[in-house]
């Protein structure tokens, strides 16, 4: 039986190239082949010089035999597992109302409108802080993504955001195949092929792009992985098809393909194919820019403003974004999952420089933190560079070992016996496998800290709550033909209509307004008082009237109408306030009295006990029993960091719509925080505390209701303690791990 052991030992050495018949897609003339002569170089140095002179040699045949079949089968299994897991996970996120207007709602609407006569039109945008919010415009004004046109054909059959989620997981997972073929042939090992397929699938930045709603550019990861494989396989037809697919995903991809074309022309010396790719990319880039400029209301690409700071203050932007702690973190995020092996192939890393520059020079910090779609196109280049790095280090390692063995010869005794034994061993294979194991270790390690699989610290499966099911029943009451303004996480469930807006956009013109005062307030999450003010304006005006108010949801219809409850200060029925009350026992009982009217009887924290910064949001829920009518109070969370500084949070939905002064004696009320963003400042033990402030605040000095411990805490609870002159009750500790 033929086995992989029959393959040459060292991936850096030249092997006879397959004949023209074995590679029918190669169209390069023989005269384009490199003709470097290293015959005058000492024999010891020739392997390394040969590698340097031929950085991208033609791939040898794929190893065959039982091991190759097993490794390929495992690669297929890993890719299928990736598709199955991420499809299920993304579907669960959507069902739990944890997907967003930007960009799943936008993409869903753009494809739906295409099948209904308005090609790639969108009305969803962030009217608060985005520079590209122009109302009813073509998607081409924002990004040049022609691949959406064929994707829209799927919407003629299955119009659903889940269609996009599945397609994204499927296409990205397919990139494991060229990773397997590329590493398996380049390193002459099916084991290496399987490992680098895993490294690709485990890459945290790639998984982050898959989880982050849907973006056409995320698909480019697989297309570019295929392009690199076809480049080394000298399959020009495959190379051009893969590059065309990649180009169709976003207007910046021509820069990546230009770099690939230059590599083909200058390093592989295949000038016709290389310069043709460069020319194709330049033409494509011109078409993209012209299209976006013609469609954009501003006359130029809508996102060009992200680079105005760099154009006016280049040194300042370089110092702040690149040569800084944040820049170092960005490079670490990209390079660590491949064990920094990519750095040993700097010519390959150069292919990713334009994409990295686009992220680093932007004024949008989200482009360089590694948890969105912006790095999807970079991942295949780094995986390719890591494979090339292993190839170089294998050549170098074998060279070092052979020279060391040569020095042992003639020493006699055990040394010479050892040298004789070692000379008979496949030293290059040992070195290569050691490097492959090293790459896999880093891939798995980074997955544990920054990835999205169930093995990751702090992983939780999205839960479809009774609150989410309530939203489904309310959405069913909105006519399909009606225009709607809704909060971000509600939009993807309403986006298959001609006009849908992200609140507060459209809240003066839409037929319906759908809100969840307990949900994600984006784009007003950092200014919740503005959000609440806008809601109160709608409730107090005559332009809209409330037709449904349940569990924190508000569905308003255009036009005047009677209040649902004329006796309520907001005109809302008791069913709206159900999110503020509970009859259940708190998960963690407490007994802390605040003044004579309030008692803190319990709390819950999500995630419990330990928070990892790869999932950096902390939600705190406190439970309050009312013993007498409270005064004009409101609660304030006080989180004390390890260095003694404090993280303050207030303005909770429960007390915004039902102030403590309206709480009724004998009832237990629930106050849940918005998700609180934890950063490196909070790393360590974070003491969670709460105080009650007397309103109004005079001279910017809050006055606290005095706190005291009463009785004994409930079973299993840790006794709280008091800080700041008995005004802050610390009730739990949270470990924040970076």
Contacts of 569 (CB under 8 A, 6+ apart): 662
User: At 603, phi and psi to the nearest 5?
Assistant: -155, 165
pLDDT of residue 5: 40
Q: What is the Cα–Cα distance from 511 to 504, expressed in whole angstroms?
A: 14
Q: Are 155 and 112 in contact (CB under 8 A)?
A: yes
pLDDT of residue 611: 84
Distance of CA 618 to the CA centre of its chain: 18
- The CA–CA distances, whole Å, from 131 to 126, 304, 357, 458 equal 8, 9, 21, 35
- Annotate 713-728 with b (16+ C-beta within 10 A) or e (fewer): beeebeebebbeeebb
Q: Are 486 and 520 in contact (CB under 8 A)?
A: no
What is the mean pLDDT, run by run of 10 residues, along the chain of 738 residues?
43 45 39 50 63 80 94 98 98 96 95 94 91 86 94 93 97 98 96 97 96 95 98 96 97 96 94 96 95 85 77 88 88 94 95 93 83 91 96 85 66 64 71 94 90 87 94 96 97 96 95 96 90 94 95 96 92 94 88 93 87 83 94 92 90 92 93 89 91 79 87 53 87 86
- Determine if residue 699 is left, alpha or beta; phi over 0 gives left, psi from -120 to 50 gives alpha, anything else beta: left
> CA angle at residue 517 from 511 to 521, to 5 degrees?
90
Closest CA to 166 of 174, 414, 71: 174
- DSSP state for residue 435 in the 8-state scheme: H
> CA angle at residue 226 from 224 to 227, to 5 degrees?
60
Pairing mode of beta strands 598-606, 588-594: antiparallel
Tokens representing residue 433 in the block: 């496998």
Please give the model's pTM, rounded to 2 decimal places.
0.88
250 SS3 class: coil
- Determine if residue 340 is left, alpha or beta; phi over 0 gives left, psi from -120 to 50 gives alpha, anything else beta: left
Task: To the nearest 10°, report the CA torsion of 629, 576, 603, 617.
Answer: -130
Q: What is the Cα–Cα distance from 320 to 328, expressed in whole angstroms?
A: 11
CB-based burial label for 284 (10 Å; 0-12, 13-18, 19+):
buried
Q: Are 356 and 313 in contact (CB under 8 A)?
A: no
Closest CA to 205 of 373, 43, 25, 400: 373
Looking at the DSSP bridge assignments, the partners of residue 665 are none
Q: Give the DSSP H/E element, type plus range, for residue 653.
A: helix 653-657
- The CA–CA distances, whole Å, from 509 to 297, 350, 515 equal 21, 49, 15
CB-based burial label for 410 (10 Å; 0-12, 13-18, 19+):
exposed
pLDDT of residue 4: 39
User: At 355, phi and psi to the nearest 5?
Assistant: -65, -40
The count of other CB atoms within 10 Å of the CB of residue 355 is 23
Q: What is the Cα–Cα distance from 586 to 670, expressed in whole angstroms?
A: 10
- Annotate 99-108 with b (16+ C-beta within 10 A) or e (fewer): bbbbbbbbbb
């Amino acid at each position: 039986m033929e086995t992989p052991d029959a393959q040459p030992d060292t991936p850096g050495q030249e092997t006879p190239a397959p004949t023209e018949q074995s590679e029918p897609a190669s169209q390069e003339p023989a005269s384009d082949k490199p003709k470097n002569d290293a015959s005058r170089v000492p024999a010891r140095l020739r392997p390394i010089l040969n590698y340097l002179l031929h950085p991208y040699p033609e791939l040898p045949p794929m190893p065959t035999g039982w091991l190759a079949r097993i490794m390929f089968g495992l690669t297929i299994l890993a890719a299928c597992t990736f598709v199955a897991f991420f499809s299920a996970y993304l579907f669960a996120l959507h069902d739990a109302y944890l997907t967003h207007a930007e960009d799943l709602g936008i993409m869903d609407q753009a494809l739906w409108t295409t099948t209904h006569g308005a090609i790639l039109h969108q009305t969803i945008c962030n009217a608060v802080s985005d520079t590209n919010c122009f109302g009813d415009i073509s998607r081409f004004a924002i990004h040049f993504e022609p691949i959406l046109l064929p994707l829209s054909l799927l919407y003629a059959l299955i119009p659903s955001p889940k269609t996009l989620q599945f397609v994204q997981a499927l296409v990205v997972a397919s990139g494991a195949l060229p990773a397997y073929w590329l590493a398996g042939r380049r390193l002459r090992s099916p084991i290496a092929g399987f490992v680098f397929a895993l490294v690709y699938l485990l890459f945290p930045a790639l998984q982050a792009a898959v989880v982050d709603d849907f973006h056409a550019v995320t698909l480019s990861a697989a297309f570019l992985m295929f392009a690199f494989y076809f480049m080394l396989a000298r399959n020009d037809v495959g190379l051009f098809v893969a590059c065309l697919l990649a180009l169709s995903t976003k207007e910046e991809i021509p820069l990546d393909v230009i770099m690939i074309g230059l590599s083909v022309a200058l390093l592989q010396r295949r000038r016709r194919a290389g310069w043709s790719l460069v020319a194709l990319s330049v033409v494509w880039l011109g078409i993209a820019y012209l299209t976006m400029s013609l469609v954009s209301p501003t006359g130029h690409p809508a996102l060009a403003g992200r680079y105005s700071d760099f154009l006016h203050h280049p040194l300042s932007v370089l110092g702040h974004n690149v040569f800084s702690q944040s820049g170092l973190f960005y490079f670490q995020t990209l390079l660590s999952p491949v064990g920094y092996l990519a750095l040993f192939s700097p010519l390959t890393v150069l292919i990713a420089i334009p994409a990295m520059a686009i992220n680093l020079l932007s004024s949008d910090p989200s482009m360089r933190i590694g948890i969105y779609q912006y790095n999807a196109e970079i991942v295949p280049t780094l995986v390719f560079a890591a494979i090339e790095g292993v190839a170089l280090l294998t050549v170098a390692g074998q060279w070092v070992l052979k020279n060391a063995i040569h020095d042992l010869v003639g020493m006699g005794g055990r040394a010479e016996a050892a040298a004789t034994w070692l000379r008979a061993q496949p030293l290059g294979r040992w070195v290569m496998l050691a490097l492959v194991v090293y790459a896999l270790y880093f891939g798995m390690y980074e997955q544990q800290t920054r990835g999205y699989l169930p093995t990751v610290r702090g992983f939780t499966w999205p839960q479809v709550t009774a609150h989410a099911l309530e939203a489904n029943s309310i959405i069913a009451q909105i006519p399909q033909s009606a225009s709607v303004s809704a909060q971000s996480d509600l939009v993807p469930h309403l986006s298959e209509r001609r006009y849908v807006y992200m609140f507060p956009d459209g809240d003066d013109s839409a037929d319906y307004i759908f809100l969840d005062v307990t949900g994600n307030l984006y784009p007003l999450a950092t200014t919740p008082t503005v959000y609440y003010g806008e809601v109160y304006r709608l409730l107090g005006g005559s332009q809209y009237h409330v037709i449904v108010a349940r569990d924190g949801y508000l569905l308003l219809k255009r036009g005047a109408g009677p209040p649902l409850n004329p006796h309520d200060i907001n005109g809302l029925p008791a069913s709206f306030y159900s999110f503020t009350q509970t009859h259940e026992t708190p998960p963690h009982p407490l007994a802390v009295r605040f003044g004579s009217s309030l008692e803190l009887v319990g709390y819950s924290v999500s995630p419990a006990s330990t928070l990892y910064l790869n999932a950096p949001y902390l939600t705190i829920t406190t439970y309050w029993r009312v013993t007498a009518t409270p005064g004009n109070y409101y609660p304030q969370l006080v989180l004390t960091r390890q260095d003694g500084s404090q993280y303050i949070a207030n303005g909770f939905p429960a007390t915004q719509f039902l102030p403590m002064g309206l709480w009724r004696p004998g009832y237990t009320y629930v106050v849940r925080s918005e998700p609180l963003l934890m950063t490196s400042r909070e790393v360590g033990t974070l003491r969670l505390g709460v105080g009650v402030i007397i309103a109004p605040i005079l001279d910017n000095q809050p006055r606290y209701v005095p706190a005291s411990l009463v009785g004994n805490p409930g079973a299993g609870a840790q006794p709280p303690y008091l800080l700041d002159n008995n005004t802050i009750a610390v009730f739990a500790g949270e470990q924040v791990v970076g």
